Copies of this chain bind each other. A is one copy, B any other.
Amino acid sequence: MLTNHQKLANLSYFCEINIDETMTISSKQEILKDFFHAAFSVDNVVFGFDEGDLKVLLIYRGAEPFKGMWALPGDLVYLDEDLDVAAQRVLQDLTGLKNIFMEQIHSFGKVDRHPFGRVITVAYYALIKTQDYNINASSWAEEAKWFSIKELPTLPFDHLEILVYAIKSFKEKARRQPIGFELLPKNFTLTQIQHLFEAILDAKFDTRNFRKKLLSMDLLVDTKKLEKGKAHRPAALYKFDQRKFQKFQKSGFSFDL
C-alpha cells in the first residue's frame, strides 16, 4: 500500500514514465503538483566593520509583505537560477553591490515563515570593506543602510533568527581562520585589527599578546606608512599578505587569546 507521496517517487514529471500501471498519467501529475508549489529565496547577511562596531547591511522594504520594515536583502530565486548566482543577483538588485562573493550559511524552512506560501530561504553571508563600496538601494528596496549589530530594528520574517545564526557562525569561523581581514581597509593599524577581533569575538585581548601572535603568523606586511592627523602617536599601517594567507588557510589557526 503506497501513500501518495510514495507514488510520487514513481513518477517523472518530465519523462512521464508510467511505472504504476493502475494510475493514469494525469492523476500522477496531480500528486506531483502537490509538491511543486513551493518557492525559495535567498537572504544575505552582509557584514561590515566601522567605528569599532560590527555592522550588518539592511534594506528598507518598499514592497509587501512587511513593507516599511528594515530587513535582510533577500528575494525569491528564479526557477532557472542557481542558488549561489541568485544570492549575488539579489544583493546587486537591492543594494547595488556587485560581484560580492557570498558563502552559504544555513537554510531556514519553517512552514509559516512566509505569508505568500511555502518559501524556504537559504541564508548567505559576505564580508566587505565598508569604505570600498557605495551602497545604492534599488528595485523595491527604498533604502539600504548599515546597522550596528548592537542596535538592530525589529526584523520581519525569521530574519532575526537568520542574523543570530549568521553572527554565531561568523564568530566560530573567525576563531579558526584568519577571516575578518576582509572587513578592514587596505591599510590598517594593529589596533584596528585588535578592535575588529574584539568586536567579532566579543572578547578583550591583551595588546602585547595579541600583537605577538598576529605578527608571528607572518600574514601582515608593514607598509612603512604611518597614520596621520590623530592627536596621539601615529600608528604603523600594515597590509594583508594574500600569498601567505593561502598557505595559512590549510594549516588553520586559533584565536583563543
On A, residues with C-beta under 8 Å from B are 2-3, 5-6, 8-15, 17, 19, 32, 34-40, 63-65, 67, 75-84, 104, 106-107, 109-111, 115-118, 120, 122, 139-140, 176, 252, 254, 256
Contact = CB atoms under 8 A, between A and B. Distances in A.
A14 B111 contact: no
The secondary-structure label for the interface of chain A is: loop
Contacts of A77: 35, 109
Number of chain copies forming the complex: 2
Nearest to A42: B109
A122 B3 CA distance: 23
A122 B38 CA distance: 14
A19 B63 contact: yes
A118 to B, nearest CB: 5
B122 A109 contact: yes
Contact of A254 (B11, B140, B254): B254
Contact of A64 (B9, B79, B107, B116): B9
Contact of A116 (B3, B32, B34): B32
Given A3-B139, A35-B77, A37-B39, 9 more contacts: A8-B76, A38-B39, A38-B79, A79-B111, A81-B111, A83-B109, A104-B106, A104-B107, A176-B176
